[in-house]
Homo-oligomer: A and B are copies of this chain.
Amino acid sequence: MYYIGIDVGGMSIKAGVVDANGRLLVKDSVATLPDRHYSEIVADMAALTLKVMSAAGVSISEVGGVGMGIPGTINSKTGVITYSNNINFEKVPVVNEFRKHVDLPVYINNDANAAALGEAKFGSGKGSEDVVFVTLGTGVGTGIITQGVLLEGKMGAGAEGGHIALKIGGEMCSCGKRGCWEAYASATALMRQTERAMALNPDSLMHEEAEKEGKISGLTAFNAMRRGDKAAKRVVDNYIKYVSEGIISMVNLFRPDYVLIGGGISNEGDWLMSKIQRRVNRYSFGGHRNPKVYVRKAVLGNDAGIYGAAALAMKS
């Protein structure tokens, strides 16, 4: 049996055919063009589904189901998107709409949840039923599988780990509350921290790095630090503290087998993972008396969403 995973983002719609062993056989994508009416976007999702099935040589009778990961608040039971910031979906019955085009069982969830499920089932957390997946990107996204259950909260409005507190009354977050983890640990936040440190340290190599790249990015401070810049090292050290502190909150609540880290920043790789691991070991509740939690880089990268969406269809 085969499963279709569809990963919808603000820029592109990706879809793939995954077999029961978790091999991604074929994938393809089209532009989302998010300003269109939802019926057109869903029609493209359906057309892409048929296209990847055809490319993989898989007929509809061989497909167990279609899974979709979509950004926003998703009611997985009713198949309705409550709202989505990235694409213009509000109260959209996406499952019913999709089934007008393709007669298959359809499962839907939030894109971060789907990616977490992909990593837990086929990626760095393979074989575990207790995984916290953290994406350090524009925001801080989290997907949580605990005791084998994908955490959704009422009407899919939970698992918003980016908006747990890090520093009460601190930096303003895009959500309207001050001091969220996301306001300190996202790539966006790191860029803000880098920019401030650059203003205070006109001689820092961060200026040179930013010029080389043509902008301040999530890499600027890391690159300057590697060249021995002290101000950059302070930025990175603090950023690692911010990332770790939120992870420790997640560990104390969920005590998973793995914390998997994705998003652009995770490309800093083993060095970054080991720094976070050390803080998690030291500051998680109960110390060494409690079972160890392993911090790992997520491995599926941009395909995690496709894998996870397909996994939604496998589970059911």
Contacts and interface: CB of A to CB of B under 8 A. Distances in A.
Contacts of A212: none
Interface in A268-290: 283, 285-287, 289-290
Given A164-B164, A285-B163, A153 B249 contact: no
Given A163-B252, A252-B160, A147 B151 contact: yes
Contacts of A256: 153-154
A163 B253 CA distance: 8
A253 B165 contact: no
Contact of A164 (B153, B155, B179, B252): B252
Contacts of A165: 164-167, 181, 245-246, 248-249
A200 interface: no
Residue of A147, A253, A286, A291 most packed against chain B (CB within 10 A): A253
A104 interface: no
B252 A161 contact: yes
29 contacts: A73-B286, A73-B289, A73-B290, A144-B253, A146-B149, A146-B158, A147-B151, A151-B253, A151-B254, A154-B291, A157-B255, A157-B286, A157-B291, A158-B252, A160-B252, A160-B253, A161-B252, A163-B248, A163-B252, A163-B285, A164-B253, A165-B167, A167-B167, A168-B241, A168-B245, A175-B285, A175-B286, A177-B283, A249-B249
Given A151-B254, A153-B256, A165-B166, 7 more contacts: A146-B146, A147-B151, A154-B257, A161-B252, A161-B253, A163-B249, A176-B287
